């Protein structure tokens, strides 16, 4: 296929134009699966990460058992990661990082996809990479929840702080994250009990 040749030569814009022309005439066919998958690949290479995510998802919705399904799951997760990834300027380089101090919906969705990949492809090519990413994202989710709980404590809202801490304690977070959540929960409970004592006076 001409689009595949252009993709392999890194002519991503040209490949994308060809694939868009084939997209609807090949829909539902075996070739249509490859077209959808390659649309995801060319979008990813062009830095169009929401578009790439959409194409990978469309491929997986239609061709769950297709020959590109394994990579599509992994790359859909990576597309979500790229949408939230930021770059930090160092002395002589740029370093990419994933923030946890804002809406973490995409972060959580990416982690779930990496876990789906691990469950579906235990011997998969990207299993170790997916496992490392899932662990990193779970830590960031936990840190996000802890920071919100701390914020509520500072604002003298112990009920909301306790709810956030308990969310961490009920989750599959690492022991260090749960230990921090227990400390916050104790602080929130002390604040609640002292509030109750004051009301009884």
Both structure tokens of 169: 């304690």
pLDDT of residue 101: 58
Distance, CA of 181 to CA of 177 (rounded, Å)? 6
DSSP alpha helices (H): ranges in 102-155?
105-120, 127-154
The per-type count for the chain, helices as H runs and strands as E runs, is 9, 2
124 close to 117: Cβ distance less than 8 angstroms: yes
Q: Which of 147, 160, 144 is nearest to 105 (CA)?
A: 144
Summarised one tens digit per residue, pLDDT across range 70-116 is 999 999 999 999 998 875 555 444 555 565 656 788 999 999 999 99
The proportion of the chain whose per-residue pLDDT surpasses 90, expressed as a percent, equals 75
Residues 14-23, mean pLDDT to the nearest whole number = 93
**142 contacts: CB under 8 Å, gap ≥ 6:** 168, 171, 173, 174, 177, 181
- Do you know the residue count of the chain? 201
pLDDT of residue 170: 94
Summarised one tens digit per residue, pLDDT across range 126-167 is 999 999 999 999 999 999 999 999 999 999 999 999 999 999
Place of tokens 């662990």: 135
Q: What is the pTM of this model?
A: 0.82
Distance, CA of 106 to CA of 119 (rounded, Å)? 20
106 close to 83: Cβ distance less than 8 angstroms: yes
Distance separating the N- and C-terminal Cα atoms of the chain: 81
The proportion of the chain whose per-residue pLDDT surpasses 70, expressed as a percent, equals 88
């Amino acid at each position: 296929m001409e689009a595949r040749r252009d993709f392999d030569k890194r002519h991503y814009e040209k490949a994308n134009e060809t694939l868009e022309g084939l997209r609807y005439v090949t829909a539902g066919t075996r070739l249509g699966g490859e077209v959808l998958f390659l649309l995801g690949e060319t979008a990813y290479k062009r830095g169009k990460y929401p578009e790439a995510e959409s194409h990978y998802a469309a491929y997986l919705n239609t061709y769950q058992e297709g020959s590109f399904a394994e990579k599509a799951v992994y790359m859909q997760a990576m597309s979500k990661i790229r949408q939230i990834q930021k770059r930090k300027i160092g002395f002589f380089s740029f370093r990419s990082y994933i923030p946890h101090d804002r809406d973490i919906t995409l972060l959580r969705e990416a982690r779930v996809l990496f876990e789906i990949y691990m469950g579906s492809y235990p011997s998969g090519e990207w299993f170790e990479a997916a496992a490392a990413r899932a662990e990193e994202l779970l830590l960031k989710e936990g840190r996000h929840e802890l920071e919100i709980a701390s914020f509520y404590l500072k604002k003298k809202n112990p009920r909301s702080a306790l709810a956030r801490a308990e969310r961490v304690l009920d989750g599959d977070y690492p022991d260090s994250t749960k230990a921090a959540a227990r400390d916050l929960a104790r602080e929130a409970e002390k604040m609640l009990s002292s509030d109750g004592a004051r009301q009884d006076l």
